[in-house]
Each structure stands twice: as C-alpha cells, then as structure tokens.
C-alpha cells in the first residue's frame, strides 16, 4: 500500500458547467478521501506559480488566461496511489483522445478547456498542495 496525497482542481469550465459534484463523487466512489477543498478565483501571480514549468512555452499565456477566467475548486485528496488513481479517473489531457468513462472523455471537447487538473507525480502534488493549502 502506498498512501499518497494529491492535488485535483476543477477548472473554470468544469465549475461553470456544474461538474464539481460529479468529479467529487467519482473520486470518492473510487475510494479516495477528500481532505481539503476551497473555491477561489486564481489571479495572474498564482497562475504563474501553478504553471511555473510552462513559463517559456508558447501556450503559457493561453493557460494563464483560461485558469484566471473564473472560479476553480482546489482539492487535496488522499489514498492508496492517489496520484495515479486520480490521473486515471481524469483521462488523458486531450479530451478527444480520453477514454469514455473518464472525466475528460465524458465531459471534455477542447484540450485547453479539459475540466480538471491533477498532479502528475508525488513531487508535483507536494508543490501544488503547498501553493493552494499550506
């Protein structure tokens, strides 16, 4: 057993479409435990810290513009292999390629508006949880 903590965020499109409850329900039904949650509107400074690894990429400004466009729901989850479990439930980044039954596969259409964000490693989870909850 590998008990982990992970960060999951419902992005502005997911909040606007009323999918917060659905996403929480899927994570809980899988067996993860919700430890912390907050709704906020991300400003440019916070967006820059969240997407720090993408600062030099051509799509950075598009990421920042989208993530600051409306409220998000930031959450801390725990469970056995929580990072991998949450990522599997979300589906691949591009919703067009995401399998049916995943959050992105069921609800997403556009790669830039893909409903949720989830940490991709234990290290990323610690960094992101530190940004939003510590």
pLDDT for residue 1: 76
SS3 26: helix
117 is catalytic: yes
Q: What is the pTM of this model?
A: 0.95
What's the token pair of residue 119? 């940490």
Evaluate whether 116 touches 105 at the Cβ level (below 8 Å).
Answer: no
pLDDT tens-place string over residues 56-87: 999 999 999 999 999 999 999 999 999 999 99
**pLDDT of 94 higher than 80:** yes
Contacts of 75 (CB under 8 A, 6+ apart): 7, 8, 9, 10, 24, 34, 36, 37
- Of 50, 54, 81, 117, the active-site residue reads 117
**What is the overall mean pLDDT for the chain?**
96
CA 65 to chain centre: 16
SS3 36: strand
């Amino acid at each position: 057993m590998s008990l982990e903590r992970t960060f999951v965020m419902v992005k502005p499109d997911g909040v606007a479409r009323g999918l917060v409850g659905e996403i929480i329900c899927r994570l809980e039904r899988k067996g993860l435990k919700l430890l912390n949650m907050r709704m906020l509107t991300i400003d440019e400074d916070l967006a820059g810290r969240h997407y720090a690894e993408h600062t030099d990429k051509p799509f950075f400004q598009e990421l920042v513009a989208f993530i600051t466009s409306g409220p998000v729901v930031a959450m801390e989850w725990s469970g056995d292999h929580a990072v991998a479990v949450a990522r599997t439930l979300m589906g691949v980044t591009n919703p067009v390629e995401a399998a049916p039954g995943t959050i992105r596969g069921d609800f997403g259409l556009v790669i830039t508006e893909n409903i949720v964000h989830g940490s991709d490693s234990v290290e990323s989870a610690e960094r992101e949880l530190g940004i939003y909850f510590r």
